[in-house]
Chain A
């Protein structure tokens, strides 16, 4: 329990761990695989070594909720193409800068003279458009329901200002369709979900009823403190103990059952759901992404510019897809820590700090062998991790 002392409230952590141990002790053969959907949770789990504090029957499976990680290579190529276009100021969140496309990243395009600018907020991009009316300013919009409302407000503002030099390359995605894709997969081996606290702030915790109602699995919408995650594990196991299967809200101090109505209304006004959108590793998923609505067509970079729109397969060596589906641990990928590192990433999961591979790598598990030793070491963890058969 060497990590417990790092907790804000070590006594509470110990109490939760004791409760979890008790809930799993009754049947040592019963294993639980809980998927944390959000990359922020993945980061907290690795940062605090939570997987090593829990009994061996409880395993975290990393989900598809890192918005940087799920952008397919063809879309990155489109972004680089836009950035290289003369007269364009291409604005992006910093996380997207180093994501490799098939012909380099935005960072490389910038080094070669493209005007690529890192912004913290879409409103920063709007400000650049207002300050430089002679330039075409494009904002690279990525993110789930958490982030899409911010782009929506920015577009509404751009329309109110009558700006003609601002557009959005929209890659906003929805959380429900990829979860259904994972739940519908014949390879699924999951026992519940640690639900995404920030997405639920917008969608509401009620949005996740389809998981217990249609798939018979519990979900606990969860905050981002390590104690929040331990409590979520305790709540999931308690549901099993008591024979319940429900949506519970551990993060009620921030998340409401109905979410944020103003944000949801803006999403409905500014965006329409695409027929289909391509996800890295998950392929094309129906109704899983937003594009700009007809009312905002003038601000849609996909309509304003003749984007190549080429579909590019993931690099053969990269197994981000299996990592995003929760089928592979980062250290089980062939190139993890060798050809693929945060400094020189091959796959998206190594780029974003919320990506499972980067989180795994950054906390001292740099080499596959070392990561394997950490994951399998000590009291010889049982279950799917221990029985993985990928060659070393």
Chain B
């Protein structure tokens, strides 16, 4: 549960509720960007996602680095990636 997973913002499903679609390795899911309300994100931005919430803006190099690192961490973390991609909030 402690992972930060990088995702790229694709679009906003519900702008009023800060619900956005992000893409991770070609797979899309919805997340909340409410915690970045002070520093709004736009489609194309990369964010670090923790338990379904964008916690911080990052750049693409950081996103690549983090994804690579998660893949090296092994099975429990791959399972969290799967959970991230398979669950739904909307």
Interface residues of A (CB under 8 A from B): 6, 8, 38-40, 43-44, 47, 66-68, 93-95, 118-124, 126-127, 142-143, 146-147, 149-150, 153, 157, 198, 201-202, 224-225, 253-255, 260-263, 266, 353-354, 362
In the assembled complex, the Cα of A198 lies from the Cα of B79 at a distance in Å of 20
Shortest Cβ gap from A206 to chain B (Å):
16
In the assembled complex, the Cα of A143 lies from the Cα of B4 at a distance in Å of 13
Interface residues of B (CB under 8 A from A): 1-4, 17, 32, 34-39, 48, 50-53, 55-56, 58-59, 62, 65-66, 68-69, 72-74, 76-77, 79-80, 83-84, 87-90
Tell me which of A8, A124, A254, A362 has the highest count of chain B C-beta atoms within 10 A of its own C-beta.
A254
| Chain A residue at smallest Cβ distance from B38 | A262
In the assembled complex, the Cα of A243 lies from the Cα of B7 at a distance in Å of 41
Contact: B68 with A8, CB < 8 Å?
yes
Contact: A43 with B73, CB < 8 Å?
yes
| Chain B residue at smallest Cβ distance from A266 | B35
Contact: B87 with A94, CB < 8 Å?
no
22 residue pairs of the A-B complex, CB under 8 angstroms, read: A6-B72, A8-B68, A8-B69, A38-B2, A67-B2, A93-B1, A94-B80, A119-B87, A120-B80, A121-B51, A121-B89, A143-B1, A146-B2, A146-B50, A149-B35, A150-B51, A150-B53, A153-B34, A198-B50, A260-B36, A263-B55, A353-B76
In the assembled complex, the Cα of A47 lies from the Cα of B75 at a distance in Å of 12
Contact: A254 with B48, CB < 8 Å?
yes
| Chain B residue at smallest Cβ distance from A119 | B87
In the assembled complex, the Cα of A120 lies from the Cα of B53 at a distance in Å of 11
CB-defined contacts of B59 to chain A, threshold 8 Å: 253
| Chain A residue at smallest Cβ distance from B81 | A120
Contact: B52 with A147, CB < 8 Å?
no
Contact: A261 with B38, CB < 8 Å?
yes
CB-defined contacts of B76 to chain A, threshold 8 Å: 353
Contacts A224-B69, A262-B38; is A120 near B79 (CB within 8 Å)? no
